[in-house]
Amino acid sequence: MPKSYTDLLGRKLFLALLTVQGLGAFALITLGVILQKNTTAKNVIRPRIRQEIARAGVALLPMFFFVALALGFLVIGQTVSTLAKVGAISYLGSTMVIVVVRELGPLLAAFLVLARVGTANVIELGTARALGEVEALEALGIDPVHYLIVPRVIGMALGIFSLTVYLILGALASGYLFAFLQDVPLTPGDYFKQIVESLGWLDFALLALKTIAFGFFIAIVTCYHGLAQPLRLEEVSRVAVRAVTQGIVVCVLIDAVFIVLYLVT
């Protein structure tokens, strides 16, 4: 391999390691602030957390109902014909649990929130940084991580968790609707019985952990790129693209960790 390629690879690897180090430090600082300052300025921070939950959760509900409908149709549409061919139609509910509850539901919810709210985070914080608002907070004795980051992290973690639950419920319901329209010989009772039998306590626990992890890390990645480094206004759009790309990578890595957890347990 030519030396210029190895140099480039080494540089990229080094930069990636630096980013991981920066993100790790930022995540730890944020966790520290969440724990240390959970009673500081409650009357300012709690309304901001509610605002962020509304932004990363409630405001996205209409889009999520549409996506839930589409997801149910897609999964059932693809699986019904295959399962019917091999006479395994009784596995429809189990398929929905594996595909929607364990994998697609949380991942899709995370990607949608990353696209809608994560990008806004980078742009808002990057602009605030570029306009000197962060220095203004420090001059007023207000911890920028506490005021700007903590509400976004908590709001996004709870937002993604709630939206995933709605997405899954919507997709399961629309899945049955599509199966019914395709004349699949399955009563609603049998369908939901299959789903209930396929679900274990681990599914609920890991679903909660996974979605909260998605929310936490998406918020960390987007806030880190918006806030942690001094920015000029013209750099904000470039940084937003980088943050979204890294957000997707982080979500896929978290998902891989949870797949391993499912396999181990």
Partner 1 sequence: MPVIEMRGVSVAAMRDASFTVVADVNWSVTAGEFWVVAGPELSGKSDLLMLAAGLMSPVTGSYTLFGNDTKDFGEAELAERLRVGFIFQGGQLFNQLTIAENVALPLRYQKNLTAAAAADEVSALLELMELTPLADVTPANVAANWRQRAALARALILKPELLLLDNPLAGLGARHRQWWLRFLDQISRGHALYDGKPVTLVVTADDLRPWQHERRKFALLNKKKFITLGGWNEVETASHSVVKELLAVQLETTTQ
Q: Does 54 bind partner 1 (CB under 8 A)?
A: no
Among 64, 111, 147, 161, binds partner 1 (CB under 8 A): 147
As measured in angstroms, the least distance from the Cβ of 143 to partner 1 is 8
Our CA angle for 162, 163, 168, nearest 5°, is 105
| Length of the chain measured in residues | 265
Residue count, binding to partner 1 (CB under 8 A) = 20
Among 21, 40, 81, 187, binds partner 1 (CB under 8 A): 40
Among 12, 15, 230, 238, binds partner 1 (CB under 8 A): 230
Distances 113 to 29, 73, 163, 230 between C-alpha atoms, Å: 23, 21, 9, 25
d(CA 133, CA 128): 5
As measured in angstroms, the least distance from the Cβ of 74 to partner 1 is 38
Burial class (CB in 10 A: 0-12, 13-18, 19+), 232: exposed
Nearer to partner 1, 142 or 208 (CB): 142
Q: What part of residues 112-141 is at the interface with partner 1 (CB under 8 A)?
A: 124, 127-128, 131-133, 135-136, 138-141
Among 61, 142, 199, 212, binds partner 1 (CB under 8 A): 142
Among 41, 59, 63, 253, binds partner 1 (CB under 8 A): 41
Q: What part of residues 178-217 is at the interface with partner 1 (CB under 8 A)?
A: none
As measured in angstroms, the least distance from the Cβ of 148 to partner 1 is 10
E-strand ranges in 55-196 read: none
CA atoms 44, 39, 154, 101: torsion sign: negative
E-strand ranges in the chain read: none
- The enclosing H or E element of 257 equals helix 236-264
d(CA 7, CA 245): 23
As measured in angstroms, the least distance from the Cβ of 47 to partner 1 is 8
Nearer to partner 1, 42 or 238 (CB): 42
- The enclosing H or E element of 200 equals none
As measured in angstroms, the least distance from the Cβ of 250 to partner 1 is 27
Residues lying near partner 1 in the complex (CB under 8 A) are found at 40-44, 124, 127-128, 131-133, 135-136, 138-142, 147, 230
